[in-house]
Amino acid sequence: MKPRRLIPALAAAFLVALPLTGCGTTTLSTEQVEVEIEKGLKQQQSLRSVDVKCPQEVELKAMSSFDCPATVDKEKRTVKVTQQDDQGNIRWQLEQQNRR
């Protein structure tokens, strides 16, 4: 069975190679992370409505992960973000939707 709006894992995974930090900071710019995720989902999935909210304070730390709640075309979803290094380079993936 194929869920109605299943987004393939490969299609929803991105590596953002832009440094998402401010000068001399030890925290990740989560506002920029939100923008990059929203832009990526809209471009790749032709979605009309995407809203992502990440935690405000995230320490720069290689290979650490955090979740960002998202609303994707009126459906509640989660985006898992993993820091690839301590320079602000991230990989994110839209988690598979739980079906009951």
Domain residue ranges in the chain:
24-94
Residue 75 clears pLDDT 80, i.e. is over it: yes
pLDDT of residue 84: 94
Q: Maximum Cα–Cα distance for the chain, whole Å?
A: 49
Residue 53 CA neighbour count, 13 Å, CB half:
3
Can you give the pTM of this predicted structure?
0.75
Predicted confidence (pLDDT) per residue in 8-51, tens digit: 443 455 656 555 555 567 899 999 999 999 999 888 777 788 99
